[in-house]
Amino acid sequence: MLVPVFSLQLNNKVFPRTVAVGKFNGKRSCLVGATAGNKVFIHSPQDNNPQAQQLERNVSLLNVNQVVTSLACGQLDEQLKKDLLVVGTNTNITAYDIDRNVDLFFKETPDGAHAITIGKWGELPEQLAIVGGNCSIHGFNKKSEDVLWTVTGDHVSSLALLDFNGDGYNELVVGSQDYDIRVFREDQLISEMQETETIVSLCPLIGARFGYALANGTVGIYERSN
C-alpha cells in the first residue's frame, strides 16, 4: 500500500495531467500546475519541511489568458543551466523564464498542444520542446524554430523520451486517443503497441522501460514493446 510522505493543501483547483516539477533557478524544485481562471500556480517552497510552509507566501500565479491543456519543465536552453516552463493551449505554446519573470517565446500551434515534453530527440543536437497535437508532433528549439515535424494516428494524449532501442539516442514514445502507443526515432515510426483505452500518461523508467496509465485506471510497464 502506498502511503504519502506528506500532503500539501494548495487552496487551488489542480487540473489533471498538467502538473510538473522544475528547478527554475537551477537549484530549488518548484511545483507547477494548471488551475482555474486560465492560470498556472507556482509553488516555491522556502522551508525543507513542507508541512511548516506558509502557502500564501509560497504560491504565485501566472496568468495565461487561455485554457491550459498541457505544460512541461526542462532545460530547453542548456546554456541557462536551469529549467524553463513551457505552457500549451488549444492554439499556442509559450516558454517562460520563471526566475526572471519573462516570456522567452510565443508560438502558434494550429493543431493544439495536448501534451509536451522537453529533451533531446534522436540525433538532433538541441534540446526541444516536443508538442503533441491533433495527429501531429512538432519539435521546437529555444528560438521557437520548428526543427522536426511528423504525424501520428490520432490526437496525442501523452509523450515521453527514452532510449527505446538501446542505440544511445532518445526515441519519442507517443500515447494517443486511438489506444495506441507509438515509438518514433525522429520522424520514423519504429514500434507500435495496442492498448485498451486512451493512454493518459507515460513515464520513462530505467533503460528501455517505461510506465503507462490508461483512462480506465489501468497502469503498467513496458520493456521495449513487451
Q: What's the pLDDT tens digit per position in 117-164? A: 999 999 999 999 999 999 999 999 999 999 999 999 999 999 999 999
CB 127 within 8 A of CB 75: yes
State the pLDDT at residue 57.
Answer: 67
State the pLDDT at residue 50.
Answer: 45
State the pLDDT at residue 8.
Answer: 74
- Please report, for the chain, the start and end positions of each structural domain, with discontinuous segments joined by +: 1-151, 155-183+192-225
Q: What is the dihedral of CA 140, 141, 145, 147, to 10 degrees?
A: -70
pLDDT category, 69, cuts 50, 70, 90? very high
Alpha helices by DSSP H, 37-141: 55-58
CATH number, domain 1-151: 2.130.10.10
State the pLDDT at residue 49.
Answer: 45
Summarize the chain as % helix, strand, coil (round to 5). Answer: 5, 50, 45
State the pLDDT at residue 37.
Answer: 93
State the pLDDT at residue 56.
Answer: 59
C-alpha cell at 62: 501566472
State the pLDDT at residue 42.
Answer: 93
Sheet bearing 84-88, strands edge to edge: 70-74, 84-88, 92-97, 102-108
Query: CA-to-CA distance for 138 and 132, rounded, in angstroms?
Result: 7
Q: What's the pLDDT tens digit per position in 149-206? A: 999 999 999 999 999 999 999 999 999 999 999 999 999 999 999 999 999 999 999 9
State the pLDDT at residue 64.
Answer: 95
State the pLDDT at residue 51.
Answer: 43
Q: Has residue 80 got a pLDDT over 90?
A: yes
Q: What's the pLDDT tens digit per position in 3-54? A: 887 677 777 789 999 999 999 999 999 999 999 999 999 998 764 444 434 4
Query: CA-to-CA distance for 99 and 61, rounded, in angstroms?
Result: 13
Query: CA-to-CA distance for 128 and 118, rounded, in angstroms?
Result: 6
State the pLDDT at residue 31.
Answer: 93
